[in-house]
Structure 1
Amino acid sequence: MYAEKLPVTKWSADLSPGGCILTLTADDLKTEYLKLLDEEHNEQVYQKYLEQHTRLIPREFVQNHGIGCDLVLRKLSFGSDYKSDFFYFSKSSDDWNAVHIEIEKPSSKYFKGSTNEFDPGFLHAIQQINDWRAWFARDNQKGFLNSLAAIQVPMHMAIRNPTFNKYVLVYGRRDEYSGSDIRRSKIQSLETDDFKIISFDSLAEGLKSKDELSIAIRHNEYIDIVTDEITNSEMYGWIDPTQFRVSAALHDKLKNGPPSRTYRGFKSGVPIEAHQYAAENIRIRRD
């Protein structure tokens, strides 16, 4: 893996496009993030912050092979009505998890005032997850996976092994229920084997053990990698680079940066190095 370290950079709430991973120490990131939660911005501010500080992206339902190629899709549309805020594949030797993540706002409430009745906003979020689950149940799974075949690699394992949809709802703050066994149990009762509810606070846990990820956007003809760093060289070893579009900055790192230890096979008995092969075949985005 290419291990270049970025300079420590302070974050701003500017929502203009940008693919730089902003690197803070785990302790500084936790402090800054928890402070941001208290400021009660709109959902898009937190979406952007997680995209720039990808260690905060949920790791629920990650299997022993990790997040596939360390690649996460943002705002992934499926069907005509649905869109997950983040999506990734994670595989084991036997199966795949296709993980769909919905984030709301840290200021969103689980309960009505001081009662133990669920807030309508929380119930609406639960219903949205149920709508996603119902959409897949209407024989849409095959078409969905076909649309993501480029990143469900290796292909032979995608064909051979089953894929299970999993759902994560990131919602509210922990202190709304942490002091009440009744509230905590009511939230937990909504969780199932394929659905987890987590608070925004929980994203700040275990940051020292979490890797940076690449953020991408799926288009009809290619996957747009919006992160300007090489987070996982295996991505370029497994995925056909013609399926990608990258920034000029990332293309330069692939072309001129240190070679990877990942290969795409052999040509005339000589191993094909993944970064150079990708640089020669990948699309370049002119930002």
Structure 2
Amino acid sequence: MTEAVSPAVAGNFRDPFVGHLPGYLAASEATAPGRPVQEVYDAALVKQWRTLLDSPASQDERLAHTFLERHPSLLPGAYSVDGDSGHPAFPMAVISKPKLPGLSDREPDFMWLATDSESLYPILIEIETPHKKWFHGDRAEIHSQFTHAQGQLAEWRAWFNRGHNRSAFLEHYEIPHELAGRRLAPRFVLIYGRRDNYANSRRRQDKRAELARTDERLMSFDRLTPAKNSVLYSCVRKEQDGYRLVAVPPCLTIFNDGEDYQQVSGWEEALDACLDMARPRREYLRRQLRLLTENPDAYVQTEGGLRVRRPQWL
């Protein structure tokens, strides 16, 4: 049965829930219970994201934050910001409002724990609003709002460089042994303002290009677009007893390896809250996730005396 969604809320980012994609449910039902078509989801997401950016509602940073929780593929860093790693982020999710142990000031908005064969990259992301300015008036003078926002990145950098904070970080986020031994290389991302505040001025473009430090990435909200393999990632929060789901995207697709999902709880509640996902698809994922979390090797087979799991997207 299809949940009814009033046409009146098509342009409303608060009702029935933030992240609603007008018209996408029909496309989801067309493939359910099988995997949805990522390109269809991406197109619907980009359209609604741009509508939000251009609306007065985007002045509310909390609203943008909640939208991004429901659609984490828009957030840069799942495969690092230093290249294009082929390794998935841990724990197959972006972390919302991540704490830095012992730091009482404002936490990052989001964090990816990206990896490659040598390094673990905590990608700490600060979002402001698309209405904030990079520069004052008609001048090429950096706006004080931007300076303040960039200062937040410096505070997080200083935290990682103090004492035993790095080991405390690995313990707090329950980093698996095989990842904890890799080089810890934090990166800091600021998502701020719109491109039109500097795009028409060569002087502003040149000045903006010199603002980022080596481990920083500065970008406007216009730059956020769905990343590759975005169907794989949800959004979680780190609580005392582990990771708990905040939201799953309407296009969620999972691996047939339970180890990727055992660290996270709250799957059934998050699936129930994802009204852009067709009911048969939600029920299918609920069964698969229950199977995989109870028996991580459910898809392992014995072939010629060897235990083999053939990678599969479900």
Q: How does 1:17-28 map to 2 (within 5 A)?
A: 25-28=41-44
Q: Which residue of 2 aligns with 1:86?
A: 110
Count of paired positions: 258
- Gap change, CA 1:7 and 1:218, over 3 Å in 2: farther
TM-score normalized with structure 2 length: 0.70
Displacement of 1:69 in angstroms is: 4.2
Q: Deviations over 1:141-176 (max 9, x none)?
A: 110121001xx3xx2322321111110000000111
Correspondence 1:211 to 2:235: no
Q: How does 1:1-287 map to 2 (within 5 A)?
A: 10=10, 12-14=12-14, 25-40=41-56, 41=58, 42-59=60-77, 61=81, 63-78=85-100, 79-139=103-163, 140-149=165-174, 152=175, 155-204=176-225, 207=226, 209-212=228-231, 213-228=233-248, 231-233=253-255, 236-238=258-260, 240-241=262-263, 244-248=265-269, 250=271, 256-257=287-288, 264-265=296-297
Distance 1:222 1:17 in 2: 26
Distance 2:237 2:168 in 1: 18
Distance 2:12 2:68 in 1: 12
Displacement of 1:244 in angstroms is: 2.9
Distance 1:245 1:272 in 2: 29
> What's the % identity of the aligned pairs?
26
Segment drifting more, 45-54 vs 115-124: 45-54
3-state SS in 2 of match to 1:76: coil
3-state SS in 2 of match to 1:223: strand
3-state SS in 1 of match to 2:140: coil
Q: Is the 8 A contact 2:247 2:270 kept in 1?
A: no
- Gap change, CA 1:248 and 1:32, over 3 Å in 2: closer
Q: Deviations over 1:202-222 (max 9, x none)?
A: 003xx3745132111111122
Q: Which residue of 2 aligns with 1:278?
A: none
3-state SS in 1 of match to 2:139: coil
3-state SS in 2 of match to 1:87: strand
- Gap change, CA 1:222 and 1:156, over 3 Å in 2: closer
Displacement of 1:34 in angstroms is: 1.4
- Gap change, CA 1:143 and 1:239, over 3 Å in 2: farther
Q: Is the 8 A contact 2:130 2:192 kept in 1?
A: yes
Structure holding more strand per residue? 1
Q: CA RMSD in A?
A: 3.6
Segments of structure 2 that go 5 or more residues without pairing to the other structure are 25-39, 273-282, 310-314
Displacement of 1:256 in angstroms is: 2.2
Segments of structure 1 that go 5 or more residues without pairing to the other structure are 1-5, 274-287
Distance 2:61 2:16 in 1: 15
